[in-house]
Structures are given as structure tokens and as C-alpha cells.
Structure 1
Amino acid sequence: MKFKDAEDVIDHIYSLPNLHPKNDLSYIKRVLDVLDNPQNKVKTIHVTGTNGKGSTTYYLSNLLKKAGQKTGLFVSPYINKFNERIQLNGNNIPDNDLVTVANEVENAIIKLRLSDPNFSLVTFEYETVMAFLYFAKQKCDYAVIEVGIGGEHDKTNVITPEVSVITTIGLDHEKIIGPTIQDIAKEKSGIIKHNRPVVLGNIPDKVLSILEKKSGKEQSKVYLLNRDYQVTDEQQIEYRYFDKEILFDKRPQVESYDIAIALTAFYLLKVDLSDKKIQQAINATQIPGRYQLVQKHPDIVLDGAHNIQAMKNLLEFVHKQNKILGGKVKVLITMMKDKDLDQVFSLFNESDQITLTTIPYPRAAKLADFPIEVREKYNYAEDYQVAYKNLKNDLNVNDILLVTGSFYLVGAILNMEEH
């Protein structure tokens, strides 16, 4: 037995490389094969998208759970604790189960090394195999699987789901799956499977044909937002699908799309749940690190927005709130240095008071990584904890403090708030 406790497992996973010499699914398939293909023993829903995939998976898994289905959820990144990545009925995988499945994965790798001494998995493959194995062992009715990056080449793309979901398509991870939005759409279309329906959210017209072409080829029925199902958000969120019409509590507009996408996918599974229980499941869903309000009057909002589309949506929401409150918007932000830093910072208002910071994470931007005009314009605080405390103590009752730019920063601040 290689691993004795959860810390052993997590240390090992993070010591693994991030990429193979060739970007295909052959490595993960070999391990799954030795483990008797656990990914085929549970019904799955596969979710990708530039933004909104995390929220959509949480809404969907809560609907399934409310319907009495034993539901697995695989998401990334985690906010507080690694175990959040793999959930069962809304609860994180317990440490002892984490150790058990990791040891089984390790034994499978040892077996493969008898004929291929250099065989190994990368970090995300290891996590994905553990999730599939756990869901199969727990005999889940359904597992909601969030893609890591992209679609076709993503390590989760070893399943034939009941329903595929593509929430949005925009620019992010261009170096890996780009450079153009058309390349990104083609990569994400890789989760569309033969004869399995696909739910499409807010898809730009210029790439819709790429997804429709792939769906046609796979004989996969398409359910498109604003054509096959609708959502409006005036005083409440109103969802319409065929003869169904359901109202939900008000949330930021972009969340209303994720609710509509999740609900459409849920209806396609033909799982029985009353409208009232659907309302309860959605209204009770709190998505960690997304529009998360940790304090009111003054408001403190945490959101891991880290690309142009997500930041644009977030700032529209925050500036709208600020118009009502009439205070100042203060922002604590760090980003990963491989993101579109120039474009993200162009989205802020002149009146927003921004403090740049960093976190102890290899990809996190340090002062020198921010564009020169950003460095010259805004304050930089090396210690995010001190910066957060100072900003929080300096708030007036109508101000908004926004912590954003990275889920790692959001997770670190949440940990501070809880201790």
C-alpha cells in the first residue's frame, strides 16, 4: 500500500507532471482498462464551456440529488479543500475513500509498468481516474463530470454521456486549445457523442455552425438556448421549455443561463421531480467561489473570474449593484501570468480602486508579470492577507469589496474568513 493518508495522496498527485509528450487519451484509457473501465458503470453528464461549466454542474447535481438519485460530481478547481474535486450527494470524498481509490489506481499503474517501465499518469488523469473509480464503487445513479480544459483531448473525454453540455464559447486557454475561437469551438465539440443529445448555452453565432455540424455528424439532437428553451431575468429568473414554465430567485444574469442549461439537461434525463422541488433545489444551490457574498453592508463578493468573458459578466453585476448602493468599488486581484492580463484590466471603471496582489502558487502573477501600465496605475501588495484585512477594515457601509482573478486567491480568502 503506497498511500497511508490523504496528505500522501495529494502530495503525490501534485508531484506528477502536467503534460504527456503526446496529447491523447491513450494513457488514461490503459489505466481505466486495468481497473475494468469504471467510467462505463455509471450514467454520466459531460459539461464543458469557457465559462459557466462549474455553476452548471452544481445546479445539475443538486437537481439529481433532490430527485433521490445517488449523484457523483467531479469539478475543478477546488476552493477550500482538495476533496471538493470528487463529491457524492454534495459531500466531499472522505479522506479514507480518497486513500483507498488512490491505492487502487497506483496498483493499476504498477501492473502497467511490468511491460512499460516508464508508464505514468499526469496530475489531472490521476484525479479523473480516482473520480470514476469512486463513483463506480459507490454505485452512483449519475455522475456529473466537468471537463478540465477543452473537450476532445480532455482527460475526462473517455465517457459516453447520457447528455453533453456546452455552456459558452469564448477565449481562454488559447495557447492550449486555440488560438482562435473556432479552434476552441472545435475542441469543445469533441464531447458531442453519437446519438446522445447536446444542450448548448450562450454560443456566439460565428461558431454555432461548428457545433451543429458535429452534432449532425453524430446524429446528436441539439437543444439551443433562446431557440429550444428560454430564460429571462427581470424581477425573477423565468425558465421556459416546451410547456414548462418555472420561476427562481433572482441571481446575476449569467447564472440564469447556467440554471436554464442545467435544467434542460436534467429534463432530457427524464428523471421525475416536481416543479416545486426543482425550485427548491436551484434556489438552495450555492456555488463556491462564484458571486459568493461573504458579508453584507458593506458587501464582500468573492468570484474566481479569470478570463475576459467571466470578468465582463462579473463587473457588469458589481457595477450595477454599486449604482444602487452608491459607494466605492474596491478590488483585490491577482491572476495567473498566462492569462489575457491587458484585456481583463481594460474592463474596470476608472473609479474602481484596485489593489494588485499575488499568492504562493507557481503560475500566479508577481508584480513584474503585470503589464507596465497596470503596474504604474494601481497599488501592489505582496501579502494578500494583509491587503485583504486592510481593504476590509477600510470599507464604508455602501462600498463593495470584490476579490477576483483566480480561484486560488478566492479559496485562500475563504480559508481566512473561516478561521
Structure 2
Amino acid sequence: MSEQDCKDGGLEPQGEAAFRDIDEAIAWITQRMPKFGIQVGLKRMERLMELLGHPHRRLKFIHVAGTNGKGSTCAYLTRVLVQSGYDVGTFTSPYIERYQNRIQLNGVDIDDESLLKLANQIKPFADGMAQTDIGAPTMFEVSTAIAIAYFARIAFPDLVVWETGLGGRLDSTNIVAPIVSVITNVGHDHMDILGNSIEEIASEKAGIIKPGVPVVCTVEQPEAVEVMRRTAAERRTTLYLMGDQFRYASVESAVEHQVFDFSGPFRDVPGIGIALSGAHQQKNAALAVMTLEVLRQYYAVLVDDENLLEGMRTAAWAGRLEMIRREPPLLLDGAHNPEGAATLAEALRTVYPHKRLHLMMGMMPTKSHSDYLRHILPLVDTLIVTEPVFFKKMDADALADLAREVAGELALIIPIDVEKDYREALRMLTERTEPGDLAVVSGTLYLISDVRAWILYRKDSDKGW
């Protein structure tokens, strides 16, 4: 995009318009997080899309929101659709190893050349917006714009699996008009922004429901269900709710192998196998199957049973009940809210046999950690509290104090160590894991990203939200 294009769009380029290499481009994008933070609202995204010529209008989106389970649901959808012969774009957040993970075509990260090109095209607009009343776009808004431009102008996927970042109604991803909306669940997360009650949070998630666009949902709390039903009715669209229009029945649940039967309004599909662990993954997988059934019925998307079963079986999602190492065993799980902790605790009780459980955890400062700890501490034999390498993190000493307080309330005696360097904490965790024990790293995905990159590649992970 030339300087003249920028002027024609109504904004003069400000400062340097070009990055020399991909590292400079990614640094410009990710450093917007501490500088501009999280700013809800769609005005900046609407302006960015206007300046870019509304590229989002050329794409078919599957919009996925929810408190937990968004990433794995996106993984199921992407894998089955790719297995069925479609070109599929996927946008998820946060990434696990490097910035490019969040924008993919057919499961492959955006290439550096395309990312550099798009960052150079968008930078003049972002700089120009910073000089106006509308303000500079945030890191997530720039990332969303880059993803849309990549899919619309370079990759040209048949479908885009499109995950919200935070909430739904005012999330930057809500700039799109999807062909189907998907809402996984509602829990206590980002309460400082989304609201203090399940009903308030559900209302924000339901913000992705569009008039006439079918919605598939697995919320379970009565107040959340009521919000979904009311919103769907107001927007005159069809709601496919787990327990009403579709359901699943567990057949088998083991480490890295589960089977369930699916029953829906259009047909039943028995014996669906998945490799992701944890009983909650059967629910996420059933949600994906119902979404695929809607795509078959409404949009003639061709997914035969062979490709459905193979895609579900081979879907993978890093950092969620992921056994990253076998000897000594080390399980990674990005549970970072009470609902995630409850799911992790259930998996530890039923799927992962162990003599002693050694937990290492680190958190962000804006979560409901007391309830998280109430779920997980009764299972823990030793605890190491650490910190992710990120500008915004919870102080390990403060988190350890909270853990001691909750342990006292529950009459638990647990050795709690504080080691702020996650690499040293990981060494301590490994040393204390004896044969038959299980080591678990849990908490913020920023910590999961750090540990995963260090174990697999002996390097620090990239950072960004």
C-alpha cells in the first residue's frame, strides 16, 4: 500500500513506514500491548477496516467465543475441514510459542514474508489513527487486522475459524459477519472487563450472535442458558444448545484416547474418537461436530464420515492437558480460572494415575485465584509458585501468600516454595518428581508458553497477547 493510498484513505503516514525484517515488525506489534493495553470497543477496528477497504467482507467466518475450550474447539473444526479438502484460515490467541502461531492457513503459520508485508502496509494507518481522537489501535486490533488482510488478500481460504480474544460483544474480532457463531461456555474470567456475574459475562459472549446466523452453544448454567435463548430469539436465529438440540454420551476416557457418541437434530454419529485428554474435551468435540453439522445443512459444506472421524482423531492443541515429557512425566495445562481448575482437577483424579502430585504455577494479576486454588490444592503434595516472563504478571510472593491462606482454610498442609525464575522452578519441579509421581505446570498461558518453549527448544518463547 503506497503513501498515496494512505492519503486517499484519509490519514497521512506518520514516521517510519517500513520495517526491515520480521523481528522489527513483530516487535512493533507486540510492544503495543504494554503501551496501549486492552481497550474494548469496535471504533478503531471499524476505522482500520475502512482504511483497508473492508477486506473482512470477502471471507466466511466461523466465530468462536467462550471462557474455556475455544482453542481446542477451533482445533477440531480446523482439522476436520482441512481433512475434508477445504483451505482453512485459523486465528487464535494467545499463541504458545511464537507470534506467527496465531494466524494459520491449513495449520501452517503465516509466513514471515507475508507478515512483514502486511505490517508495513498497516503501520501508516495505525500511526495516523494515533494522531486522531479515535486513538492508536492496540496490539490485538493490529493482529486482527493483519489476520483479516492475510486471509482476504494473500491466503484466500474457503473458511476462517475465528476465535475471540476477550468477551465477544466489544472484542475486535466482532467486526466480522460470520456464517455460524459458536459459544463454548461461560465462566469467571476477565471479570474486571466483562462483568461480575455469570449473566453479565454471558451477555458479553452472546454479543457475537448475529441476526439470522445460527449459533451453537454448550453453556450450562441456567442464567447463561437464558441469556443465550433470549439473545437468539431477539435476533431471530436458531440456537443449537447442548442438552436440547444435541448431546453426547461418553464411551471411553483415557490418556490421549477418548470415544463418545454424538446425537443431533440431523443425524447421530457414534464412535467418535479424539486424542485430546480430559472429559471436557468430549464436550468441546461434540460442540465442533454440531457446528460442522450446521455447516453441512445450511451451507452445503461437504464433510463425509471418514473425514470427520479422521479429523477429530488427529486434532491437537498445545498446552491443554499436554504430556510434554514422559520421563519424568510433566503435564502442561493452561487452566487459569476456577472453571479451568475444576476441569484440570477432574482430569487429575480420573485420567492421570500418580503417587504424589507436584504442581508449579504462575498467574496473571486479574484472575479469581482463590477459587482456582480451592479446586486444585486438595490434590497437591508440593507446590512451587513462579512467574512468567511477561511485563504483566502476578508477583510470586503474593500468589504464594494466597495459596497458604487457601490451604489454611481447607486445613491442608502443603510445602510451598517460591522461585520467580521459571527455569529454576522447573528444575526444582523435575528434581522432586520421583518414579510414579506426576509433575504439572498450570496457570497463565504465558507460563505454559515459557515452559513449553524451554523444554522443546531450549529457548525463551515470544510474547504477546
Asked whether the two chains share a fold, i.e. TM above 0.5, the reply is yes
Q: Which residue of 1 aligns with 2:452?
A: 414
Candidates 259, 268, 293, aligned match of 2:323: 293
Q: Which residue of 2 aligns with 1:136?
A: 152
Please report how far the alpha carbon of residue 261 of structure 1 lies from its aligned counterpart in structure 2 after TM superposition.
0.7
Q: Conserved in 2, the CA contact under 8 Å of 1:199 and 1:261? A: yes
1:234-253 correspondence to structure 2 within 5 Å: 234-235=251-252, 236-241=259-264, 242-249=266-273, 251-253=277-279
Q: Are the structure 2 counterparts of residues 304 and 350 from structure 1 closer, same or farther at C-alpha, using a change threshold of 3 Å?
A: closer
Q: Which residue of 2 aligns with 1:18?
A: 37
Cα deviation code 1:39-95 (max 9, x no counterpart): 111100100001111111111111111111111100000110110011111001111
Please report how far the alpha carbon of residue 100 of structure 1 lies from its aligned counterpart in structure 2 after TM superposition.
0.9
Q: Conserved in 2, the CA contact under 8 Å of 1:337 and 1:369? A: no
Candidates 101, 117, 123, aligned match of 1:106: 123
Three-state SS of the structure 2 residue aligned to 1:105 is: helix
Q: Conserved in 1, the CA contact under 8 Å of 2:219 and 2:225? A: no
1:379 correspondence with 2:408 = no
Q: Are the structure 2 counterparts of residues 381 and 368 from structure 1 closer, same or farther at C-alpha, using a change threshold of 3 Å?
A: closer
Q: Conserved in 1, the CA contact under 8 Å of 2:397 and 2:418? A: no
Cα deviation code 1:304-347 (max 9, x no counterpart): 1100001110111012234xx34111111011121112111111
RMSD: 1.9
- Give the whole-Å Cα distance in 2 for the aligned partners of 1:198 and 1:118: 32
1:360-375 correspondence to structure 2 within 5 Å: 360-370=389-399, 372-375=401-404
Q: Which residue of 2 aligns with 1:306?
A: 336
Q: What is the TM-score normalised by the length of structure 1?
A: 0.94
Q: Which residue of 2 aligns with 1:400?
A: 438
Q: Which residue of 2 aligns with 1:256?
A: 282
1:16-415 correspondence to structure 2 within 5 Å: 16=32, 17-20=36-39, 23-109=40-126, 116=132, 119-137=135-153, 138-235=155-252, 236-241=259-264, 242-249=266-273, 251-270=277-296, 271-296=301-326, 298-322=328-352, 325-347=353-375, 348-349=377-378, 351-370=380-399, 372-375=401-404, 378-415=416-453
Q: Are the structure 2 counterparts of residues 165 and 333 from structure 1 closer, same or farther at C-alpha, using a change threshold of 3 Å?
A: same
Q: Conserved in 1, the CA contact under 8 Å of 2:357 and 2:440? A: yes
Cα deviation code 1:248-299 (max 9, x no counterpart): 3353111111111111111211211221211111111110111111123643
Cα deviation code 1:125-164 (max 9, x no counterpart): 0000000000101211111110011111001101110000
Percent of matched pairs sharing the same residue:
28
Which amino acid is the alignment partner of residue 37 of structure 2?
Answer: N
Q: Which runs of 5+ in 1 are unaligned?
A: none
Q: Conserved in 2, the CA contact under 8 Å of 1:297 and 1:398? A: no
Q: Which runs of 5+ in 2 are unaligned?
A: 1-16, 253-258, 406-413, 458-465
4+ residue runs over 4 A deviation: 110-114
Q: Are the structure 2 counterparts of residues 252 and 117 from structure 1 closer, same or farther at C-alpha, using a change threshold of 3 Å?
A: closer
- Give the whole-Å Cα distance in 1 for the aligned partners of 2:456 and 2:130: 43
- The farther-off stretch of 104-113 and 205-214 is 104-113
- The farther-off stretch of 8-17 and 144-153 is 8-17
Q: Are the structure 2 counterparts of residues 101 and 221 from structure 1 closer, same or farther at C-alpha, using a change threshold of 3 Å?
A: same
Q: Conserved in 2, the CA contact under 8 Å of 1:327 and 1:396? A: no
1:2 correspondence with 2:18 = yes
Q: Are the structure 2 counterparts of residues 341 and 34 from structure 1 closer, same or farther at C-alpha, using a change threshold of 3 Å?
A: same
- Give the whole-Å Cα distance in 1 for the aligned partners of 2:374 and 2:392: 21
Please report how far the alpha carbon of residue 244 of structure 1 lies from its aligned counterpart in structure 2 after TM superposition.
2.4
- Give the whole-Å Cα distance in 1 for the aligned partners of 2:220 and 2:392: 29
Q: Conserved in 2, the CA contact under 8 Å of 1:338 and 1:363? A: no
- Give the whole-Å Cα distance in 2 for the aligned partners of 1:245 and 1:335: 39
Three-state SS of the structure 1 residue aligned to 2:196 is: coil
Q: What is the TM-score normalised by the length of structure 2?
A: 0.85
Which amino acid is the alignment partner of residue 261 of structure 1?
Answer: L
Q: Which residue of 1 aligns with 2:7?
A: none
- The farther-off stretch of 348-357 and 151-160 is 348-357
Q: Are the structure 2 counterparts of residues 382 and 163 from structure 1 closer, same or farther at C-alpha, using a change threshold of 3 Å?
A: same
Q: Conserved in 2, the CA contact under 8 Å of 1:329 and 1:352? A: yes
- Give the whole-Å Cα distance in 2 for the aligned partners of 1:113 and 1:345: 41
Which amino acid is the alignment partner of residue 182 of structure 1?
Answer: E
Cα deviation code 1:378-413 (max 9, x no counterpart): 111122112212322332232111110011111111
- Give the whole-Å Cα distance in 2 for the aligned partners of 1:269 and 1:305: 30
Please report how far the alpha carbon of residue 96 of structure 1 lies from its aligned counterpart in structure 2 after TM superposition.
1.0
- Give the whole-Å Cα distance in 1 for the aligned partners of 2:281 and 2:148: 28
Q: Conserved in 2, the CA contact under 8 Å of 1:185 and 1:210? A: yes
Three-state SS of the structure 2 residue aligned to 1:195 is: coil
- The farther-off stretch of 350-359 and 39-48 is 350-359
Which amino acid is the alignment partner of residue 340 of structure 2?
Answer: A
Which amino acid is the alignment partner of residue 75 of structure 1?
Answer: T
Please report how far the alpha carbon of residue 199 of structure 1 lies from its aligned counterpart in structure 2 after TM superposition.
0.1
Q: Are the structure 2 counterparts of residues 384 and 35 from structure 1 closer, same or farther at C-alpha, using a change threshold of 3 Å?
A: same
Q: Conserved in 2, the CA contact under 8 Å of 1:298 and 1:396? A: yes
Q: Which residue of 1 aligns with 2:8?
A: none
Q: Are the structure 2 counterparts of residues 175 and 370 from structure 1 closer, same or farther at C-alpha, using a change threshold of 3 Å?
A: same
Which amino acid is the alignment partner of residue 279 of structure 2?
Answer: Q
- Give the whole-Å Cα distance in 1 for the aligned partners of 2:423 and 2:71: 26
